[in-house]
Structure 1
Amino acid sequence: MACQGLKQGESLQTLKRESETLKKKLEEERGKLNDVELHQVAEKIEVLASLSIKTRRVLKGHANKVLCMDWCKDKRRVVSSSQDGKVIVWDAFTLNKENVIALPCTWVMACAYAPSGCAVACGGLDNKCSVIPLSMDRTENLAAKKKSVAMHTNYVSGCSFTNSDMQILTSSGDGTCALWDVESGQLLQSFHGHTADILSLDFAPSETGNTFISGGCDRKSNVWDMRSGQNIQSFESHDSDINSVKFYPSGDAFASASDDATCRFYDLRADREVAVYKKDSIIFGASSVDFSLSGRLLFAGYNDYTINVWDVLKGTRTSILFGHENRVSRVRVSPDGTAVCSSSWDNTLRIWA
């Protein structure tokens, strides 16, 4: 079938070669616009003093690997999902479990807090994304109020509400992202452009919120326009799966974390990679990234149980956070920037400040 549309004298090999040469030409043209490297610009900037970040809280309650977590906008509550099939809502100050929701499937790979704080979403190996309204009544069976909103043909790897509780964006192992209406469960827009599993997505931090990025096993980070469904920019410089993508606070750049043991920083306006965060001593993959509120620091969780803190501008490592006893699955800075929460395969979450 694939060969039917080929013209005379053309083969898949010649077309592949042609696309490779066009890619090279594009890279060369991009290269001509490169004027100066980020770390050169940052030479005059003062070096950051070493950080004294410590574990302030350890959240214990999951019976298996914690795969995902998210902060509530109230800067106090945290939701986490685990391989034990449970979603837990925590009070990060008191360590109390406010809600424990048992789901029919294990491997709950994604969870997210609604902007209002009145609901959480989760999804995983059941190929669905469900929204669960929260209530202060401890006796209420929240799992019974669970509503399936999204349905993919493979596992759900990520979910995130838009700027309202009414729409949710999901990414999946079927290689697509999709925007859904929470009330009706209707598919509003689907995004096709990856050639393998998508592992992560993130919204642009703006009021309109019309763009988002996705990263996946095809080693690509794609920038999408939510209104048209079009892939507007694509970056491909990692050597392995991209596990996490995160927008810079201004929305003009983003970082990605990969199994190739590097984190990379891309500027959307320059349309290119501007920094690589790596060390010869780091040989394990990076699983998750997030920026400090100012954007000066990049927190990256790794499969060697550590969290490395990078100076975004200088490209140097400022500190390493030790504490977890298994790989770090997710790192998220609190909405007010005063704390960092990490989830891990050691069944716990840690709050660092």
Structure 2
Amino acid sequence: MTEVLSNNTTDKVAALVKEAESLKAKLEEERQKLNDVTLSSVAERLEMITYLNIKPRRVLKGHQAKVLCSDWSPDKRHIVSSSQDGKLIIWDAFTNYKEHAVTMPTTWVMGCSYAPSGNLVACGGLDNKVTVYPITMEEDISSRKKTVGTHTSYMSCCIFPNSDQQILTGSGDSTCALWDVESGQLLQSFHGHTGDVMSIDLAPNETGNTFVSGSCDKMAFIWDMRSGHVVQSFEGHQSDVNSVKFHPSGDAISTGSDDSTVSIINISIIFMFIGTILNITYIQQLKGFHYKSNNI
């Protein structure tokens, strides 16, 4: 009897796998129907972008090792940066002055972020924690720091989802997590990646209910922040996904990988750039993405 039940279960699983593969093939077929134009043919109708003579406005010196992350304050004047030297520095970009410098309990401070109000900064790294600092006139802001959440491996990235009350983190433990800043309570955990989470970005809308993550499992996931579930997944890279970014419209994401490619993904992959991608930034004036590569 047990053997019969086991065989029935195996048959059902095999049938479901076959059905899933069939649905996947149909989805790919529908995607290809919509993929009826190439990016190069569309670009032929656009005016050529004039040469940009970009020059450094300021060089902020003070870190003693690799700068791993930085973020602009909402006031468009201050910058927070984190480094492999174990320092978190808040800069006045107009004057080059360091307004605050915090020595962290670990080297490799991998992620940092300003809160929407500009009154808080968060950071973390090999200490596995996300720590929040209030920005005050006091010289030593570390005296009022608060450890908000702790992962079981390094914290790679963090971002405030449209308010100072919550913070979203990505980690080397293959998870993302949403924390309450005041209580330190874990509000939602996001499980699905099978490799280190390297980058996260929020969807550009007022509700802020979805975000994208990139991982060393070669995948990018879009998550529902309320349910904790993956609502869309993207594969195709051959190595770690280091950086992810939403298009300002929310209709596309850009992913950069160790496989030396970057993809802009909407319904299907519509563009691929060759070069080692380290970071992605959207430039509003150009209506496009800027890719930091070792080839350009």
Name the TM-score, length of structure 1 as normaliser. 0.77
Could you tell me which residue of structure 2 aligns to residue 276 of structure 1? 272
Could you tell me which residue of structure 1 aligns to residue 201 of structure 2? 202
**What is the CA RMSD across the aligned residues, in angstroms?**
2.3
Provide the rounded CA distance (Å) in 2 between the counterparts of 1:182 and 1:142. 17
Could you tell me which residue of structure 1 aligns to residue 113 of structure 2? 112
* Residue of 254, 272, 293 corresponding to 2:284: 293
Answer 1 or 2: higher relative contact order, Cα 8 Å, separation at least 6: 1
List aligned pairs for 1:1-353, cutoff 5 A.
Answer: 7=7, 10=10, 23-138=24-139, 141-267=140-266, 271-278=267-274, 282=275, 285-294=276-285, 296-302=287-293, 304=294, 320=296
After superposition, the C-alpha distances for 1:223-250 in whole angstroms (9 at most, x for unaligned) are 1111111211111111111100011111
Offset of 1:86 from its aligned partner?
0.7
- Look up the SS of the partner of 1:55 in the other structure: coil
The amino acid across from 1:206 in the alignment is N
Provide the rounded CA distance (Å) in 2 between the counterparts of 1:55 and 1:194. 38
The amino acid across from 1:287 in the alignment is L
Question: Is this contact kept in 2: 1:200–1:216, CA < 8 A?
Answer: yes
Question: Is this contact kept in 2: 1:235–1:272, CA < 8 A?
Answer: no
Offset of 1:62 from its aligned partner?
0.6
Assess, with a 3 A threshold, how the Cα gap between structure 1 residues 149 and 295 changes in structure 2: closer, same or farther: farther
Provide the rounded CA distance (Å) in 2 between the counterparts of 1:255 and 1:30. 18
Provide the rounded CA distance (Å) in 2 between the counterparts of 1:233 and 1:136. 44
- Look up the SS of the partner of 1:41 in the other structure: helix
Provide the rounded CA distance (Å) in 2 between the counterparts of 1:53 and 1:7. 67
Q: Which has the higher helix share?
A: 2
- Look up the SS of the partner of 2:41 in the other structure: helix
Offset of 1:9 from its aligned partner?
8.8
Provide the rounded CA distance (Å) in 2 between the counterparts of 1:123 and 1:45. 43
Provide the rounded CA distance (Å) in 1 between the counterparts of 2:255 and 2:110. 19
How many aligned residue pairs are there? 290
Offset of 1:61 from its aligned partner?
0.3
Question: Is this contact kept in 2: 1:65–1:82, CA < 8 A?
Answer: yes
- Look up the SS of the partner of 1:58 in the other structure: coil
Offset of 1:15 from its aligned partner?
9.4
Provide the rounded CA distance (Å) in 2 between the counterparts of 1:188 and 1:294. 37
Question: Is this contact kept in 2: 1:249–1:295, CA < 8 A?
Answer: no
Provide the rounded CA distance (Å) in 1 between the counterparts of 2:141 and 2:71. 19
Assess, with a 3 A threshold, how the Cα gap between structure 1 residues 290 and 25 changes in structure 2: closer, same or farther: same
Gaps of 5+ in 1: 307-319, 321-353
Name the TM-score, length of structure 2 as normaliser. 0.91
Offset of 1:10 from its aligned partner?
4.6
Provide the rounded CA distance (Å) in 2 between the counterparts of 1:262 and 1:20. 27
The amino acid across from 2:68 in the alignment is L
Could you tell me which residue of structure 2 aligns to residue 335 of structure 1? none
**Quick check: which has more Rg, 1 or 2?**
2
Provide the rounded CA distance (Å) in 1 between the counterparts of 2:281 and 2:117. 22
